[in-house]
Amino acid sequence: MSEKAPNILIIQADQMAAPALPFHGHPVVRAPHMAALAEAGVVFDSAYCNSPLCAPSRFSMMSGLMPSEIGAYDNAAEFPATIPTFAHHLRQLGYRTVLSGKMHFVGPDQLHGFERRVTTDIYPADFGWTPDWERPGERQDFYHTMLSVAEAGPCERSLQLDFDEEVAHQGMRALYDLAREGGEAGARPFFLQVSFTHPHDPYTITREYWDRYEDAEIDLPRVPAMPREALDPHSRRVFDACGMAKYDLSAARVRAARRAYYGAISYVDDQVGRLLAALKSTGLADDTIVILTGDHGDMLGERGLWYKMSFYEGSARVPLVVHAPGRFAARRVGRNVSLLDLYPTLVELGGGGRDGETPGELPGRSLVPLMSGQGEDWSDTVHGEYLGEAAAGPLVMIRRGPHKYILGEDSPAQLFDVAADPDELNDLAKDPGHAGLAADFAAEAAARWDFAALKRRVILNQRRRRFVFAAQSRGETAPWDFQPVFDASRLYARNRADVLGDLERDARLPHAAAPPADGPGS
């Protein structure tokens, strides 16, 4: 690279619904650090994940490919090591690539282009969470449970808190380490991804964040819970798989779950603030592009549904903010975009050019023209696939212009004008006035997806994974879970060839100016 490319910091939150954020108009949630990024950055008001489930969304985002193209069917599907990612590409462009936090990588490759990974993951890397489409209606132990809602409230500690505090600490430590690197390594730009598990359920957070909200200010769902029989077939399966009828979800319990979720967003916001403060203290803030995003959303009780696993707005729409005031003026973009667009965007930002060579055609497009106030020829089309738990076959989405089309193998088509009907209550699929539009979407879906063939592929893949997992669970096991390695012999002060003073001076940030040598022998 003729001149140093910008550093890039991606901050990702798990299950953070765009409609629940203040910079998307939520009147209750408080997230000042994220709001400040949005105020000075480029905000994408209509950004979507390409699969509303953790692992498939992340694999698709990193590879720039649709889940069905890479076998990213569910949360126990392997992310093949042969698939290039944006981390590989940025590394090829000369970046130092570092990961702190959750990516839900499944399989023996736990890096996927990252040179350094400073934490383990929160979820297993094996095939144990494989769904079984051949047993529709049978609930598996790893599915969500409505205990998350029934037991919502404050806590002193949780699995998620243990994880995210390590993620934040190691993310900040990585920033300082990257800033202190000298020589050839220090001359390279960095790409750091810091990925939190909050505000993912269970809906619990410490008293500090719980108390940032009052019960009286917590809004209830805009769309009240519907009777099971009033839901579409896919939503009924999600309803059953999560046991949503098992507990009496009173207004008080729903309000408590949403209060904890809002508190968890505020918790993530504080971690964002810590990262931004660390970035500023390194002196690298002006040279770093900060991207804030999520992997999918959360229904939060809308329609009586919780978690994700559907293409309704609460589940499928994600935050996407690009903060680089020195490069892009603050603006809001209303065009439809998806996480697939991040790969070509990062390549262009990293100096690879808009038509930067990729090892295969990518369906996404660079967002740089939209961030620059251009992009008049933007296709405005987003595709989505859901092939995971609680499904009995493929569920797909096409979002174009103001319209969203959803179709399942055994679920009648749904068509919504999201601009006019943001709560998606008026299904236009059978409206005679929209028959032509519905027919066009149906033809496009039929041309793009072979539901029967895709279902056969998913089921065969599920069978193989269940067999492999059962076999690998016998006798000696060799877990794939990432093991962070810290060589204590190279940490802090050790008796090596380094002079102690040099070690201490190199670790100080910023480096102190050496005083003049004016004593005897100078």
Q: What is the pLDDT of residues 308-365, one digit of tens each?
A: 999 999 999 999 999 999 999 999 999 999 999 999 999 999 998 766 566 668 999 9
Please give the backbone phi and psi of residue 20, each rounded to the nearest 5 degrees, phi first.
-95, 5
What span, in angstroms and rounded, lies between the C-alpha atoms of 345 and 93?
Answer: 14
> Which of 33, 49, 54, 242 does the annotation list as catalytic?
54
Please indicate whether residue 49 is annotated as part of the active site. no
SS3 189: coil
Whether 270 shows a pLDDT value over 70: the answer reads: yes
**Cβ(261)–Cβ(20) under 8 Å?**
yes
Contacts of 491 (CB under 8 A, 6+ apart): none
Question: Who wins on pLDDT, 299 or 361?
Answer: 299
**Position 123, amino acid:** Y
Q: In terms of C-beta density within 10 A (0-12 exposed, 13-18 middle, 19 or more buried), how is residue 516 classed? A: exposed
What span, in angstroms and rounded, lies between the C-alpha atoms of 486 and 502?
Answer: 22
Contacts of 24 (CB under 8 A, 6+ apart): 18, 45, 319
Residues 70-75 have a mean pLDDT of 98
What does DSSP assign to residue 349? I
**Cβ(31)–Cβ(48) under 8 Å?**
no
Bridge partners of residue 403, in order along the sequence: 400, 417
pLDDT digits (tens, 9 = 90+) for 85-139: 999 999 999 999 999 999 999 999 999 999 999 999 999 999 999 999 999 878 8
- Helical packing angle, 251-281 and 32-40, nearest 10°: 60
Whether 522 shows a pLDDT value over 70: the answer reads: no
Whether 82 shows a pLDDT value over 90: the answer reads: yes
pLDDT value at residue 247: 86
Both tokens of 178, joined, read 């990257």
CA-only gyration radius of the chain, Å = 24
pTM over 0.75? The answer is yes
Q: What domains can you pick out in the chain, each with its CATH number?
A: 7-394+449-490 (3.40.720.10)
If you average pLDDT over every residue of the chain, what do you get? 93
Give the torsion sign (CA, 136, 137, 143, 144).
positive
What span, in angstroms and rounded, lies between the C-alpha atoms of 89 and 189?
Answer: 13
pLDDT value at residue 498: 64
Distance from the first to the final alpha carbon of the chain: 42
Whether 520 shows a pLDDT value over 70: the answer reads: no
Q: In terms of C-beta density within 10 A (0-12 exposed, 13-18 middle, 19 or more buried), how is residue 436 classed? A: exposed
Q: How confident is the model at residue 503 (pLDDT cuts 50, 70, 90)?
A: low
pLDDT value at residue 514: 66
Q: Which of 142, 145, 109, 141 is nearest to 123 (CA)?
A: 142
Both tokens of 460, joined, read 């065969």
What span, in angstroms and rounded, lies between the C-alpha atoms of 439 and 405?
Answer: 11
> Which of 104, 112, 234, 383 does the annotation list as catalytic?
104
Q: How confident is the model at residue 164 (pLDDT cuts 50, 70, 90)?
A: very high
pLDDT digits (tens, 9 = 90+) for 356-382: 566 668 999 999 999 999 988 899 999
Residues 385-408 have a mean pLDDT of 96
What span, in angstroms and rounded, lies between the C-alpha atoms of 192 and 174?
Answer: 8
What does DSSP assign to residue 498? S
Q: CA dihedral in degrees (351, 357, 359, 361; nearest 10)?
A: 110
Tell me which residue has tokens 């410490």.
206
pLDDT value at residue 309: 96
Q: How confident is the model at residue 1 (pLDDT cuts 50, 70, 90)?
A: very low
What span, in angstroms and rounded, lies between the C-alpha atoms of 447 and 515?
Answer: 72
Please indicate whether residue 104 is annotated as part of the active site. yes
Extended strands (E) in 269-356: 288-294, 320-323, 331-333, 337-338
